[in-house]
Amino acid sequence: MQFLNLEAKILEILKYLNIKNFRLAKEYNEMPVDIAFVEGTPTTREEVLKLLTIRKESKILVALGTCAVTGGVPGLVNMMAKKEAMEVYDGFPPDVPIDPKPLEYYVNVDYNIYGCTFSKDELIELITSLIIGKEYRDKEYSVCVECSLRENNCLLDDGHLCLGPITRGGCKALCPNNGKMCLGCRGPYEDANIKGHIKILQDMGFTKDEIIESLSLFSYEKFKEVISWLKEE
Amino acid sequence: MGVKIAKNRVNEFLKYLKEEYILYAPVEENGVSKISKIEDTSDIINLPYRTQISLKPIFFPPEQKFFRFEKKNGGVEIEDYLPQEGDDKSIIFGVRGCDVNAIEVLDKYMLDEFEDPYYRKRRENAIIIGISCDYPKESCFCTAFGGMVPERYDLWFTDIGPHFYVDIGSKRGEKLIDDKFFEEASEEDEMRKIRRINSVETKINRKVKTNLHDIKKYYHKIKNRADDSIWEELGRKCVSCGKCNFICPTCHCFDVKDMTNIDGSAGERIRVWDSCHLYDYAKTSAENFREERKARVRYRIYDKFVFPVMRYGVYACTGCGRCSEVCPAGIDIHAVVRRLIK
Ligand code: SF4
Ligand code: SF4
Ligand code: SF4
Ligand code: SF4
């Protein structure tokens, strides 16, 4: 829905893109399309099938937002017993529930737009790149980079469990700018030294459980190996 | 012989300077101490040592726009932002020795071999009024490089009780000495100044115990440790956050980007600070020549103590200790260097 919040920009974007299928904002749907933006992640068999169709019917598939990119908060259920998860869903489990996975678990994803909510600036950057034929690259550095460029006081120094060092940059350090620790909503980047950061957090006095809880919030799927390593450590 | 100024006249002196110059001095913004443009002299803070943020952003900001471009009538129209930089004269008050030395190092990168006109414009007209520290911060180690009073400055203040002793280091500095504020200093005042500086430096030395003055010798020693196991060890700790680079008053790497509108017909070219600790820093179309973290960690230390010595005959570290202060992984550059020269 963040798409509709692009406001002024959307008019400009519409000059170049012809929106054929927008389930929440437009009445009729046409396929195939050049670019499909998929928000969220499938949690039922039907949704998986729908995703496979979208992939077949589009030239470019963009995973939009954390749930699509990392499995996101729904990925948390992977940590719990199925029974518990159903309790969380208040007795109304999604029909034939399946584990929420990143979209790339099912289909090839051409581009990822990270964040919860995803960054409008990056979406515009991607669309611009597609229109002018420029390469769009994922940020390969952390939130700390953008945080330091803004001369913020580091929240780690004040004893907060900030995930900035292992979280992919691109949000312009939205949370730390507002004095809130980075919860890792954009997921880890490829080069992240996750074990190094765990060591830092342990030296600061955080327990294994606290660290695992924090890593699991947005990207359990991406961190699960390091989490099982940490549990045994 | 120097002059002196009564402490209670300093504020008036700064107000007087402000009439003709843009004044920069230490302030605190959002809990961070830095050197900023002063609107009201009562905003200036009195610190016994350096600010958290160095002078660097005044001359070389984290993000800087170079020009705007627009495709028009079959060509490209360019509006250069350089003329907007202004030729205003500025005075930077309350700078510490490590930062004055650092800006001289930065000058070598930005004005020597390659000239950066945007940097030059800001730097050229800046007068430096420095001040001796009252005591060091935990991470300070300037005495390893020669102490807290730099070789060059315009004016240099040292606390000698009810007065500041003022050394005059340049013609530009001399012009600022107005009888309204300054009086002749006596020989005794000068002795007091020397004793004062010695006592603070002795305090730093007691903790630092490193002397890197013999540049040739130490640069060789460090250079020969390229295959040491220390890099492996530090590479495991470092989280590649880049904070050590951004905070360093001599780090000068940047990336240049074009930010365009949606069809690329207009936009701005900007430069943004970069860091040699980041994965894509050394990525080229052919390969990433510092893919391993340990190679990146080593590179920063070498670009402080080895490469600048080969290129310009100086270290690119002045012992301000900021990188050690901000490193979340606890990597302390002074401790690293001590191990390397053992
Ligand atoms: S506050 Fe968080 S994001 Fe900012 S520099 Fe510190 S660890 Fe990194
Ligand atoms: S390094 Fe030396 S000159 Fe710099 S703040 Fe510390 S004591 Fe002062
Ligand atoms: S390398 Fe560290 S101690 Fe040396 S000048 Fe840079 S920030 Fe200061
Ligand atoms: S501040 Fe420390 S952890 Fe961050 S890049 Fe520098 S050495 Fe590595």
Interval B251-260: pLDDT, tens: 999 999 999 9
* pTM summary value: 0.90
In a domain, A103, yes or no: yes
Same domain, yes or no: A17 and A127: yes
Which tokens is B20 given? 């003709």
Those residues whose C-beta lies under 8 Å from the C-beta of residue B44, and which sit 6 or more positions away, are B11, B14, B25, B26, B27, B38, B93, B94
pLDDT in tens, B235-246: 999 999 999 999
What pLDDT does A32 receive? 80
- How do strand B163-168 and strand B155-159 relate by DSSP bridges? antiparallel
pLDDT at B101 over 50: yes
Q: At which of A132, A159, A182 does a domain end?
A: A132
What pLDDT does B90 receive? 95
Lining residues, ligand 2, CB within 6 Å:
B 49-50, 96-98, 133, 136-137, 140, 142, 148, 204, 319-321
Range B100-119 burial, b when 16+ CB lie within 10 A, else e: bbbbbbbebbbeeeeebebb
Same domain, yes or no: A122 and A173: no
Those residues whose C-beta lies under 8 Å from the C-beta of residue A107, and which sit 6 or more positions away, are A51, A52, A55, A61
pLDDT at B234 over 50: yes
In a domain, A203, yes or no: yes
- Using CA atoms, how far residue A207 sits from A203, A216, B6, B47, in Å, is 10, 14, 55, 37
Q: Looking at residues B216-233, what average pLDDT do you find?
A: 94
pLDDT in tens, B307-342: 999 999 999 999 999 999 999 999 999 999 999 998
Answer left, alpha or beta for residue A72, where phi above 0 means left and psi between -120 and 50 means alpha: left
Q: What is the C-alpha to C-alpha distance for residues A224 and A100, in angstroms, rounded to an integer? A: 14
Task: Give me the number of domains chain A comprises.
Answer: 2
Q: At which of A132, A154, A174 does a domain end?
A: A132
Determine contact, residues A99/B231, Cβ cutoff 8 Å: no
Is B240 in Cβ contact with A200 (below 8 Å)?
no
In a domain, A138, yes or no: no
Complex ipTM: 0.92
Range A162-201 burial, b when 16+ CB lie within 10 A, else e: bbbbbbbbbbebbbbeeeebbbbbbbbbebbbbbbbbbbb
Residues in chain A with CB shorter than 8 Å from the CB of B328 are: 154, 156, 165, 197, 200
pLDDT in tens, B126-139: 999 999 999 999 99
Q: Does B138 touch chain A (CB under 8 A)?
A: no
Same domain, yes or no: A71 and A159: no
What pLDDT does A7 receive? 54
Which tokens is B54 given? 């160095």
In the block, which residue shows the tokens 């012992």?
Answer: B319
Interface contacts A/B by beta carbons within 8 Å:
102
Residues facing B168 on adjacent strands: B155
Q: Can you give the CATH number for the domain in which A63 is found? A: 3.40.50.700
Determine contact, residues B178/B16, Cβ cutoff 8 Å: yes
Residues facing A112 on adjacent strands: A63
What pLDDT does A27 receive? 46
What pLDDT does A196 receive? 97
Same domain, yes or no: A157 and A128: no
Residues in chain A with CB shorter than 8 Å from the CB of B236 are: 193, 195-196
Same domain, yes or no: A106 and A157: no
Residues facing A60 on adjacent strands: A35
Same domain, yes or no: A192 and A80: no
Residues in chain B with CB shorter than 8 Å from the CB of A200 are: 239, 328-330
Nearest to A186 by CA among A206, A163, A209: A163
Q: What is the C-alpha to C-alpha distance for residues B339 and B342, in angstroms, rounded to an integer? A: 5
Query: Which atom of ligand 3 is closest in space to residue B98's alpha carbon?
Result: 5
> Where exactly are the structural domains of chain B?
3-340
CA dihedral in degrees (A202, A205, A209, A214; nearest 10)? -80
Same domain, yes or no: A16 and A126: yes
What pLDDT does A90 receive? 58
pLDDT at B273 over 60: yes
User: What residue's CA is closest to ligand 2, atom 7?
Assistant: B136
User: What residue's CA is closest to ligand 4, atom 4?
Assistant: B241
Residues in chain A with CB shorter than 8 Å from the CB of B242 are: 141-142, 144-145, 148
Whether the ω angle into residue A32 lies within 30 degrees of 0, i.e. cis, is yes
Same domain, yes or no: A111 and A18: yes
In a domain, A67, yes or no: yes
Same domain, yes or no: A167 and A103: no
Range B137-170 burial, b when 16+ CB lie within 10 A, else e: bebbbbbbbbbbbbeebbbbbbbbeebbbbbbbe
Domain encompassing residue A48: 4-132
In a domain, A101, yes or no: yes
Q: At which of A132, A166, A193 does a domain end?
A: A132
Nearest to B96 by CA among B43, B28, B143, B62: B143
Q: Looking at residues B214-229, what average pLDDT do you find?
A: 93
Same domain, yes or no: A124 and A212: no
Same domain, yes or no: A48 and A80: yes
How many Cβ atoms are within 10 Å of A107's Cβ, its own excluded? 16
Same domain, yes or no: A172 and A112: no
pLDDT per residue as tens, chain A (233 positions): 455 455 556 656 666 666 666 655 454 467 788 888 888 888 888 888 888 988 998 899 999 988 888 776 666 555 555 556 556 655 555 555 677 788 888 999 999 999 988 888 999 999 999 988 889 999 999 999 999 999 999 999 999 999 999 999 999 999 999 999 999 999 999 999 999 999 999 999 999 999 999 999 988 888 999 999 999 88
Helix axes B230-237, A194-204, angle to 10 degrees: 80
Query: Which atom of ligand 2 is closest in space to residue B99's alpha carbon?
Result: 4
Determine the 3-state secondary structure of A97 from DSSP: coil
Report the chain B residue with the minimal C-alpha distance to residue A124: B262
From B333, B334, B336, mutation site for ligand 3 pocket: most ligand atoms within 8 A of C-beta: B333
In the block, which residue shows the tokens 């490469």?
Answer: B307
Higher-scoring residue by pLDDT: B125, B167: B167
- Using CA atoms, how far residue B315 sits from A221, B146, B150, B172, B221, in Å, is 46, 12, 14, 27, 14
Is residue A175 in contact with ligand 1, taking CB distance under 6 Å? Answer: no
